[in-house]
Amino acid sequence: MSDTIMRARAEQAYQTELTQLVEADSGPRPAGWQLSAAAVKRFICGDAKLGIKRKYYGDDALVERAIVSIMGNNGLMMVGEPGTAKSMLSELLAAAISGTSELLIQGTAGTTEEQIKYSWNFAMLLANGPSLEALLKSPVYQAMEQGKLVRIEEITRCPQEIQDVLISLMSEKTLTIPELGIAIQAKPGFNIIATANLLDRGVNEMSSALKRRFNFETVPVLNDVALERELILNQVNARFADAAEKPQLDEELVQLLVQVFHDLRHNLGAQALDATLSTAEAVNIVHSCALHSLYWQTPMSAEQLAQQMHGTLIKDKADDVKKLAHYLDAVVRERKEWRAFFNAGKALWMK
């Protein structure tokens, strides 16, 4: 059987860099951390002298504030629109600070208290009663026990009563197990990184008590055209890093896509789209174009770009077709160098 995996966790993908940073790190390390705060920032934001690649393309000051938040008693809450790299940033922070990003809870409407705290092996429970051997530890339990970071994705998707289970855990840094008459006290290094999408605001509003236990950071959409282009190229190339054959990316088409996204985000020639115009969506579009180019053995084209934009952005949003048609007519038509993209988009959106 092949041991190839589809996606490596951050600590696996960047193991060499993390090892290098650990060995070279002489800065003060907070209790329970494998790296100093400065080295964590270098891991995420890059360091040309050490050959550490930049992984997060955004505000470096935001990364610093996030690191400082994790050092304190409060957890870190990252909010923003979908696709703004909140999850990636939380994974990178956990990998750099704790050496593992696998302690993760995915928030859903069906998340239970047991998933936050602990549950039981019912066969052992029925046979021998409550015991440590029959206990099934949640990611939060393991993080407290080991002094590591735990990540909670889409926390506002969880019912409010489940969210509020975290209040005493974060305040007291203690998880009580009444069935065994014991309590697990968190070791240094424990903290929580949570994420929430702004589009989910109002789904399950966080209580004021829980909000007070987090420091909030808003992760913005990337609006630097040159930086976004660089990020897209790096991300798509990374997806083909282990492939036997690699496509030739058309950088001019990537630049065109980035400019289109930039125009639409700022409502240039069109009303705001309902679709999410995130960098993550742009990466998916270029990746799909690259796959088409590779397996059909044809160069990347404006027609492919328009078709992938349609499949990725439009989905079931019929009104967005009208908005894209207006953008084509008002803006793209005037850009003579975009004629191929105009013709491809016209066939899709100006029927």
When pLDDT is averaged across residues 110-136 and rounded to a whole number, the result is 95
- The 10 Å Cβ neighbour count of residue 181 is 8
Is 85:217 a contact under the CB 8 Å cutoff? no
* Averaged pLDDT, 64-91: 95
Helix axes 60-71, 86-98, angle to 10 degrees: 50
| Residue 123 token pair | 């066969």
Per-residue pLDDT tens for 332-341? 999 999 999 9
Residue 92, both tokens: 């990178």
SS3 13: helix
Q: Pairing between strand 75-80 and 214-218?
A: parallel
Take residue 148 and report the two structure tokens written for it. 């590591």
pLDDT value, residue 170: 95
Question: Position of tokens 């990337």?
Answer: 222
Residues 6+ apart with CB under 8 A from 249: 233, 236, 237, 286, 290, 300
Contacts of 78 (CB under 8 A, 6+ apart): 66, 86, 89, 90, 193, 194, 195, 196, 216, 217, 218, 219
Q: Which CATH architecture has domain 10-218?
A: 3-Layer(aba) Sandwich (3.40)
Sorted by where each begins, the domain ranges of the chain are 10-218, 225-349
Contact predicate 260/306, CB 8 Å = no
Helix axes 37-45, 15-24, angle to 10 degrees: 150
Q: State pTM to two decimals.
A: 0.91
Q: What is the pLDDT of residues 124-183, one digit of tens each?
A: 999 999 999 999 999 999 999 999 999 999 999 999 999 999 999 999 999 999 999 999
